[in-house]
């Protein structure tokens, strides 16, 4: 299968990425002396920190607490250093949705005003118990961009136009990702895929994929042993090649997950690793585009 309109889509994507200056990775922290005088934005995770930095810089400095791909964010315990950083922040950004409840506690202890705490779960489409991996949800990211730019302008009105302009460029990048996903969707919609936890689900939904083995995914995400019948169904679907791809969280080491990956390899079912942290030297929009491109490739779309 060949992806139609490739040149046009690449143009859209390159236009959006060049407008955001993603040829060189944007650092979260400006030069030492100058940075010390800038308003500080603290992000719970580097995914949201990167998005925030593309809007706030060069008028604010942004630092992220979680950035290591070896850390499981679901099990993270905040440190005194984290508390001091948040206490010194003018703005704090986080995923919310129960994903980083430790940040809620630190913000509450710091006395930061609610208007200065921007969370992705403030998106109108979020409901209690929904998928917490909001950085892969384009609607949630778009809403976050708008809310964060407004928060920046609230505390630093002198640079309001800059925040608004950079937020608009981020919206352009989001729209480019959605357009690219729409082209892929024409070829992959309805294909059955699975994951070891619901990290990939928002992107699977964007592509119109049929996400299977959801009971297993929820168990792993909640650190619960999957039921034997759930595991048996997963194994059968891999052996029978009913599943066209298996996505796994490379930050989670579980014997049952390793077993499924081995079974997928034996059954010639493609696998794709995914992290909850933004990889080094990549912006969020490049990362998401690369994930979509790799998904299309594994599902047989020539790009």
Annotated domain spans of the chain: 6-180, 189-269
CATH topology of domain 6-180: Rossmann fold (3.40.50)
- Residue 12 is predicted with a pLDDT of 43
Mean pLDDT score of the chain: 90
Rounded Cα distance, 299 and 185, in Å: 11
Burial state string for 137-154 with b = 16 or more CB within 10 A and e = fewer than 16: bbbbbbbbbbbbbebbbe
- Residue 187 is predicted with a pLDDT of 98
Q: What is the mean pLDDT of residues 231-250?
A: 97
Q: Does the domain made of 189-269 have the CATH classification 2.40.37.10?
A: no
The token pair that represents 99 in the structure block: 């994903």
Tell whether the model's pLDDT for residue 13 goes beyond 70. no
Rounded Cα distance, 36 and 42, in Å: 14
The C-alpha torsion from 133 through 134 and 137 to 142, rounded to 10°, is: -160
Element (DSSP H or E) covering residue 196: none
- Residue 7 is predicted with a pLDDT of 47
Q: Same topology for domains 6-180 and 189-269, yes or no?
A: yes
Rounded Cα distance, 167 and 73, in Å: 27
> What is the rounded radius of gyration, in angstroms, for the C-alpha atoms of the chain?
20
The residue behind tokens 């990425």 is 17
Model's pTM, two decimal places?
Answer: 0.89
Tell whether the model's pLDDT for residue 222 goes beyond 80. yes
Q: What is the mean pLDDT of residues 295-301?
A: 97
- Residue 27 is predicted with a pLDDT of 47
Confidence of residue 34 (pLDDT cuts 50, 70, 90): low
Q: Collect all residues with Cβ–Cβ distance below 8 Å to 154 and sequence separation of at least 6.
A: 115
Confidence of residue 4 (pLDDT cuts 50, 70, 90): low
129: region left, alpha or beta (phi > 0 left; psi from -120 to 50 alpha): left
- Residue 75 is predicted with a pLDDT of 84
Q: What is the mean pLDDT of residues 175-193?
A: 98
Confidence of residue 25 (pLDDT cuts 50, 70, 90): very low
| pLDDT tens digit sequence for 140-174 | 999 999 999 999 999 999 999 999 999 999 999 99
Tell whether the model's pLDDT for residue 15 goes beyond 50. no
Which of 150, 143, 156 minimizes the C-alpha distance to 60? 156
* 91-94: strand order across its sheet: 61-66, 40-45, 91-94, 117-119
């Amino acid at each position: 299968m060949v992806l139609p309109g490739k040149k046009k889509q690449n143009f859209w994507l390159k236009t959006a990425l060049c407008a955001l200056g993603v040829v060189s990775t944007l650092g979260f922290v400006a030069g030492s002396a100058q940075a010390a005088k800038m308003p500080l934005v603290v992000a719970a995770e580097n995914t949201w920190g990167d998005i925030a930095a593309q809007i706030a810089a060069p008028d604010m400095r942004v630092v992220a607490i979680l950035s290591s791909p070896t850390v499981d964010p679901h099990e993270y315990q905040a440190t005194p250093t984290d508390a001091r950083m948040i206490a010194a922040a003018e703005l704090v950004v986080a995923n919310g949705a129960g994903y980083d409840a430790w940040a809620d506690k630190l913000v509450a202890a710091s006395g930061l005003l609610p208007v200065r705490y921007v969370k992705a779960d403030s998106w109108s489409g979020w409901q209690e118990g929904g998928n917490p991996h909001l950085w892969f949800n384009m609607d949630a990211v778009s809403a976050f961009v708008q809310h964060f730019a407004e928060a920046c302008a609230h505390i630093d009105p002198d640079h309001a136009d800059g925040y608004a302009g950079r937020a608009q460029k981020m919206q352009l990048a989001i729209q480019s990702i959605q357009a690219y996903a729409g082209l892929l969707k024409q070829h992959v919609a309805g294909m059955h895929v699975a994951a070891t936890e619901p990290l990939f689900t928002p992107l699977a939904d964007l592509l119109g994929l049929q996400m299977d083995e959801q009971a297993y995914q929820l168990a792993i995400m909640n650190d619960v042993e999957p039921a034997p019948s759930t595991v048996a169904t997963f194994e059968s679907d891999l052996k029978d090649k009913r599943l066209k791809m298996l996505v796994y969280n490379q930050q989670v080491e579980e014997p049952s997950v390793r077993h499924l990956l081995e079974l997928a390899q034996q059954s010639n079912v493609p696998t794709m690793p995914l992290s909850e942290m933004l990889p080094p030297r990549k912006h969020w929009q490049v990362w998401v585009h690369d994930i979509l491109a790799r998904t299309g490739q594994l599902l047989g779309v020539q790009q």
